[in-house]
Structure 1
């Protein structure tokens, strides 16, 4: 049995921050919000409720907290105050089932995340976004009122009987974004990486991993047992010079950025306990750049590098691991290039 918060207010938010033993500044960074936002929540105590998207972020922060921190959170309330934190069955299997149910319900209706968000809003009394739907399907746990709303949507199935998933011809393809920037807006790095057990990435500078995810969060992942392998295009290679020319960058700009990102991860590795440093492995390669591939557990984010188009403007594909699907194709691309790479 575990604890779930039915509705976060400033009181529960402050209790969680204190249970995590974080300052307001650190807690705001942990959630990806401004310090004044956290201060406003806490000042309002039980009368202020964060927006729905932040309710989900607080759920995730609580779920990712250590058992000791969760116990400190519960213990901070008197028994008669614990109605908002009731015991319910939990576990990764239930989270997976919740995500599957939401995704399968949407797909059975033939709706895009945007249209499904509109349909949900008619039942919820608040308006989730397409980004919310995508996060709930991929990494976050859908809120309870969203799961209840699935039963109320007329003409849509309320169960998840069987093993249905995306149509076979999609081979695990879950979402497509016109650019990496649009993908990042829908699924930020912290939503993608928090709680990961295995991260594998190959690309050019790997900015999403090195620039968009805080050093502290990387340390938290690896001290929690996660393994990370990152394969960069060699900053001194002819391939990176060719890409600079193709994308219209001044000579040396992509090379300098890649060096900076490698140094960032090396610094993180150096600060890990000695027995954990092997959890973060880095390598470089010198080949024609074709794909940026990030594999996070059973999710793959793949992006082709197109001629005369900068990487951030290239389409991005989100792929789930499934038998005989595209995930294994990109997994093989990574493993093959990793074997040919040079360890850093």
Structure 2
């Protein structure tokens, strides 16, 4: 017999959205959920909720990587055997509340698990935009908004959690219900007048403290970046995480300032670096991602595009699915000290996101492929 795992979650019941309820039941009027049968869909949702690559997840369960791949692909009707059903129950039962929330959200919203050939759901993006729009309409800081949410939630989230719910993490169902309890109806994404701007940090170090690289990149499907050395992607994100992303279907394009070009030499003068210092760092970062790409299976190497350009440096732009982090390069100011702007994509195609998206695409077209 297949075992069942029952645990408490803080997730929104979403049968009205047309989500399949065959393998995961959420009991309305309570907080209990039951996995009746683990299939590739539930297995992949758990792996992504744990933010593990196929390699790490297979080691976590004690099975071969190809076994996990077959589960997720539904290859030849392969499903976890009864003893592995029990192992998956245990893995889910021991997971933190955040992991369980991500697991339920992935299954119900469909954001992390689109069916083959289907368009990826925008419901997660809509939920994030809703939180940001309500906060902006109220004219509150993330910390003040956390105070407001505390009453309907019965507990106080951190300001960092509010920012995550607006930028990189699908808000839990009880947070969405809290917005309703506050008497806030749907707010159009553009109504805040901020053109999608979600947060501003005075420096890159403060951005990294509040939104670390793994929080921004984990689980992403489309990553595009242009800048100088792209330290966030190369120094702050481990090789094994890149492998996991690419194995799960992500596509990446990174555009570095040419280490041998004239533009990087001019920037060294502007930032007060010794000649060749920024060039050496950028070359090291390029080699880091080249190594990641070279270690990928042959059929995945095209998923990571790398290129260089040699033009006056204006912005560091990182586009991760519906999130954009943009930093201007200021004269007489090092890149690490420049302000960072966090911008969300507006489904209507307005705001600042498409502006920075166009900047990236135009520079990518002019870049030299590696």
Quote the residue 2:253 is aligned against: 229
The yes-or-no answer on 1:91 pairing with 2:110 is yes
Matches within 5 A, 1:159-174: 159-160=185-186, 164-167=188-191, 169-174=193-198
Q: For residues 92 and 140 of structure 2, what CA distance do their matches in structure 1 show?
A: 45
Quote the residue 2:266 is aligned against: 242
Out of 134, 137, 140, the residue aligned to residue 169 of structure 2 is 140
Q: For residues 78 and 174 of structure 1, what CA distance do their matches in structure 2 show?
A: 32
| Unpaired segments ≥5 residues, structure 2 | 1-20, 33-45, 62-70, 74-78, 94-99, 112-120
Out of 344, 350, 354, the residue aligned to residue 328 of structure 1 is 354
Quote the residue 2:57 is aligned against: 20
Note the C-alpha offset of 1:150.
2.8
The yes-or-no answer on 1:205 pairing with 2:229 is yes
Pick closer, same or farther for the CA change 1:168–1:289 going to 2, 3 Å: same
The yes-or-no answer on 1:76 pairing with 2:95 is no
Quote the residue 1:102 is aligned against: 131
Quote the residue 1:342 is aligned against: 368
Pick closer, same or farther for the CA change 1:297–1:264 going to 2, 3 Å: same
Q: Deviations over 1:288-323 (max 9, x none)?
A: 111111111222211110011111111111222232
TM-score where L is the length of structure 1: 0.73
Q: Deviations over 1:122-169 (max 9, x none)?
A: 44454322211111111212234433433443xx41x42xx6114374
Q: Tell me if the contact between 1:131 and 1:185 (Cα under 8 Å) persists in the aligned partners.
A: no
Q: For residues 169 and 152 of structure 1, what CA distance do their matches in structure 2 show?
A: 24
Quote the residue 1:262 is aligned against: 286
Quote the residue 2:118 is aligned against: none
Q: For residues 290 and 243 of structure 2, what CA distance do their matches in structure 1 show?
A: 12
Pick closer, same or farther for the CA change 1:90–1:169 going to 2, 3 Å: closer
Note the C-alpha offset of 1:279.
0.7
Out of 260, 274, 283, the residue aligned to residue 298 of structure 2 is 274
Q: For residues 72 and 284 of structure 1, what CA distance do their matches in structure 2 show?
A: 49
Q: Tell me if the contact between 2:150 and 2:157 (Cα under 8 Å) persists in the aligned partners.
A: yes
Quote the residue 1:287 is aligned against: 311
The alignment yields a C-alpha RMSD, in angstroms, of 3.5
2:341 aligned counterpart, secondary structure: strand
Q: For residues 92 and 225 of structure 2, what CA distance do their matches in structure 1 show?
A: 46
- Farther-moved stretch of structure 1 (322-331 vs 264-273): 322-331
Q: Tell me if the contact between 1:107 and 1:166 (Cα under 8 Å) persists in the aligned partners.
A: no
TM-score where L is the length of structure 2: 0.68
Note the C-alpha offset of 1:206.
0.1
Pick closer, same or farther for the CA change 1:328–1:251 going to 2, 3 Å: same
Higher helix share: 1
The yes-or-no answer on 1:195 pairing with 2:219 is yes
Q: For residues 297 and 198 of structure 2, what CA distance do their matches in structure 1 show?
A: 37
Quote the residue 2:42 is aligned against: none
Note the C-alpha offset of 1:74.
4.7
